[in-house]
């Protein structure tokens, strides 16, 4: 894959296009050991060696990170008030990463951070019926026929009916599997049966399961096996 040198530098977060042009004029950019003055030249990121100010720049066309999202962080690329999930990925190579879906600011657990738009679309599309599993703690008395109500599909307060879901309840804890992701859906589903969610954590999405070794706020790159498995959803 051939791309422009300035595009390579911007996608890796190294320089803006105007900064790249200035850096090239000053001989700060080396391509395969030689100073490159033209930033519109085409390079092969997988074969050519690009060095900026003596430091080699690594490149990845796509990146995939598993994040254990903590509370107090928003599922966004930027926010004026709160830190974002993308900001937690300190060693990312690209500047175009985004969360695949959203978790509420007070919700913890599995979140995929990537720049693969096609994969994200497939994971989030209701037509794909990708399972999303949550652990919930709640207040209130869960109705005797609650499991059947979840299985049949619940009518939310705005009149929208959810797709059938599966729930296992143990005391004030529940493990819920849904195939869609409407706004505040899990909390609204519990409200529909007279309960209030007090804690929520996503455990898995499709074939991807939260690594139990990741503490809230920690992340790791996906393995090749995990990436391939997600693409086969």
Strand partners, 31: 34, 50
Count Cα atoms within 13 angstroms, Cβ side, for 152.
10
| Extended strands (E) in 59-164 | 64-69, 98-99, 108-114, 132-139
Would residue 104 show up in a list of annotated catalytic residues for this protein?
A: yes
| CA dist., res. 204 & res. 134, Å (int) | 7
- 146 — alpha (psi -120 to 50), left (phi > 0) or beta? alpha
Identify which of 69, 74, 223, 199 has the alpha carbon closest to the alpha carbon of residue 135: 199
Burial of residue 212 (CB within 10 Å: 0-12, 13-18, 19+) is exposed
* Residue whose pair of structure tokens reads 């994969």 in the numeric block: 119
Q: Which of 104, 131, 145, 211 is catalytic?
A: 104
Assign 127 to helix, strand or coil. Answer: helix
173 beta partners: 137, 170
Q: Give the integer Cα–Cα distance in Å for 19 and 211.
A: 39
What the block records as the tokens of 111 is 């979140």
Question: Annotated active-site positions, please?
Answer: 104
């Amino acid at each position: 894959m051939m791309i422009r040198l300035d595009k390579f530098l911007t996608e890796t977060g190294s320089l803006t296009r105007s900064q790249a042009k200035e850096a090239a004029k000053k001989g700060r950019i080396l391509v395969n050991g030689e100073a490159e003055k033209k930033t519109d030249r085409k390079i092969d990121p997988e074969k050519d060696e690009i060095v900026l100010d003596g430091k080699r720049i690594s490149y990845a066309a796509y990146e995939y990170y598993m994040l254990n999202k903590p509370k107090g962080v928003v599922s966004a690329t930027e926010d004026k008030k709160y830190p974002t999930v993308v900001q937690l990925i300190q060693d990312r190579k690209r500047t175009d990463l985004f969360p695949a879906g959203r978790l509420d600011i007070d919700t913890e657990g599995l979140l995929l951070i990537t720049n693969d738009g096609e994969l994200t679309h497939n994971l989030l599309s209701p037509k794909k019926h990708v399972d999303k599993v949550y652990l919930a703690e709640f207040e209130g008395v869960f109705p005797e026929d609650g499991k059947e109500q979840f299985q049949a599909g619940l009518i939310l307060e705005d009149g929208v009916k959810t797709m059938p879901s599966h729930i296992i309840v143990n005391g004030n804890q529940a493990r819920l599997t849904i195939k869609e992701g409407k706004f505040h859906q899990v909390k609204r589903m519990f409200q529909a049966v007279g309960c209030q969610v007090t804690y929520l954590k996503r455990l898995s999405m499709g074939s991807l399961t939260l690594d139990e070794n990741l503490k809230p706020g920690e992340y790791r790159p996906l393995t090749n096996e995990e990436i391939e498995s997600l693409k086969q959803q």
